[in-house]
A and B are shown apart, each in its own frame.
Chain A
Amino acid sequence: MDSQALTALAGPELAPAPPPARLGWWTRLGAVGFGVLLLYPLAGLFARVGGWTWSGSARDASLASIRVSLELTGWAMLLVVLLGTPMALYIRRAGRRERLVWQAALVTSILLPPLALGILLSLALRPDGWVGSLLLQLGFVSSNSAGAFILTQVYVSMGYYVLGALLAFEALPAGLEAQAALLGAAPWQVFRRVTLPLARLGLAGALSLAWVRAIGEFGAVVITAYYPAGMPVQLWIHLQSLGMRAVMPLLVAFLCAALPIPVLIHLWGRRHA
């Protein structure tokens, strides 16, 4: 995801729309064609694959994967917000050079291919390594555990959230936070009463993006946390062992879980912005 896409997600006030122009019918036709092509993959939902399988072990495994994905991604997002928001505030106030270093680090974490990230993460946290053994002593199992699942999701989504939050904070009107402080508000009060309400829309966009990225993650999670299986891994297992008829119901559940929640977050942020 490049910075333009993040800017667009952060809210319309960051990228004001150009004034409306008279559009010819052929331009509109081209735009409609583009839209159809863009959403065409959804036509796969109506493909004839035979009767959908939603019973027995396939149903139980699907329901378990839905619960795993929603619950563990929720925890991962909590960590992303709690760690990423102060980090974005810090980077915003950092000097120019330090800021460039942080931005490079964030972009690197975004650009790491998921499969490579999964392999690197499992090597870096291997039980015989000093970090892995330390975590093991603290009760954290670094592979095939709920903790490994959450940690991997945090890694794949943190960069998106922090960059989006940074854009949201940078879009605040200049001088408001200083004025709030001069009016006697302590730093925490400035954040709670001014920064957060004004950046809410952008933060909601960043969180939506992080949610979609995390809940849909397959390549990294399949290496670090094959168990407990979340929806993407379970889809893969169904595809390998039971075929498309078992995949389709879980696929619908996957889309229903992955798409509406970020849209709701975004609408909530817009309503309160």
Chain B
Amino acid sequence: MLEAGIRKQRRGLTVEVEFSLAAGAALGLFGPSGAGKSTVLECIAGLQAPDAGYVRWNGAALFPPPAPLHRRGLGYLTQEPCLFPHLTVAENVAFGLSRPAGESVWLSEVRERLQLGECWQARAGHLSGGQARRVALARMLARRPPLLLLDEPFAGLDRAGVRELIAALLEWRTALGFALLVVDHNPDVLSRLCPTALVMLQGRELVRGTWTELAAAPDPRLRALLAPV
């Protein structure tokens, strides 16, 4: 279970939220740009240190004291695929495995399921946006992390690309059973991955619940956020 209580001052905005996420569950962090969603995710990933609070995963403290990034054991995916351009796709996907040679069957499965066969031996610096995003997802999933943090992973993709990536995530979630914490400002996309959402506004929690509950909430600020563009 992920337990997080985070307080972080950030350029005139105080981000302050508290929530928990059961193993295997999915939660969306929803809100407008600048609400502090990504800050929360970065604090959990360890890219930023909270000013105060706590982050625990299955009882083990990730903060405080801040656990080193390489010992956190979680997957983190942003809109920037952050592939290693000097390595091939195969080397990128196997990067997080301690003994890739012993996991060739697993790597083949990852390659086939994410349709990376065509570009498997290509340099990662030569991929299209959609391909790069699939490779980044494959690299993260290859480690079988118990918790995935996704920060607007669909930004910049066309509709087909978004559909493809969501389908892959749902399929893999069924197979691997990881918990999912997703940041996005698009309720349509977020609701396909997460049955519940925590809505943030100006660094604070506005409301949380299922999408049906959110849609029925009377708060005009929430209605404005959920209204189709």
Where the two chains meet, the residues of A that have a C-beta atom closer than 8 Å to any C-beta of B are 173, 175-176, 178-187, 189-190, 193-194, 197-198, 273
Contact = CB atoms under 8 A, between A and B. Distances in A.
B80 A175 contact: yes
Contacts of A183: 70, 95-96, 139-140, 143
A38 B86 CA distance: 36
Q: Which 3 A/B pairs are nearest by Cβ-Cβ distance?
A: A183-B96, A181-B69, A179-B82
Contacts of B129: none
B30 to A, nearest CB: 24
A184 B96 contact: yes
B195 interface: no
A175 B78 contact: yes
Interface in B136-180: 139-140, 143
A174 to B, nearest CB: 8
Interface of B: 45-47, 68-70, 72-76, 78, 80, 82, 84-86, 95-96, 98, 139-140, 143
B49 to A, nearest CB: 13
A186 B70 contact: yes
A179 B70 CA distance: 9
A225 B81 CA distance: 53
Contacts of B72: 182
Given A183-B95, A184-B96, A184-B98, A176 B70 contact: no
Nearest to B97: A184
A182 B95 CA distance: 11
Contacts of B76: 179, 182
A197 B87 CA distance: 10
21 contacts: A173-B85, A175-B78, A178-B47, A179-B76, A179-B82, A180-B84, A180-B95, A181-B68, A181-B70, A182-B45, A182-B70, A182-B74, A183-B95, A183-B96, A184-B96, A184-B98, A184-B143, A185-B96, A186-B68, A193-B95, A273-B86
A11 to B, nearest CB: 14
A168 to B, nearest CB: 14
Contacts of A198: 84-86
B169 to A, nearest CB: 18
Most buried by A among B78, B80, B139: B80
Contacts of B75: 182
Most buried by B among A176, A183, A184: A183
Given A173-B85, A181-B68, A182-B69, 5 more contacts: A182-B45, A182-B74, A185-B96, A186-B68, A198-B86
Given A175-B78, A178-B69, A179-B76, A185 B95 contact: yes
A176 B92 CA distance: 12
A3 B78 CA distance: 33
B86 A184 contact: no
A239 to B, nearest CB: 48
Contact of A197 (B46, B86, B143): B86
A189 B75 CA distance: 18
B84 A185 contact: no
Nearest to B42: A178
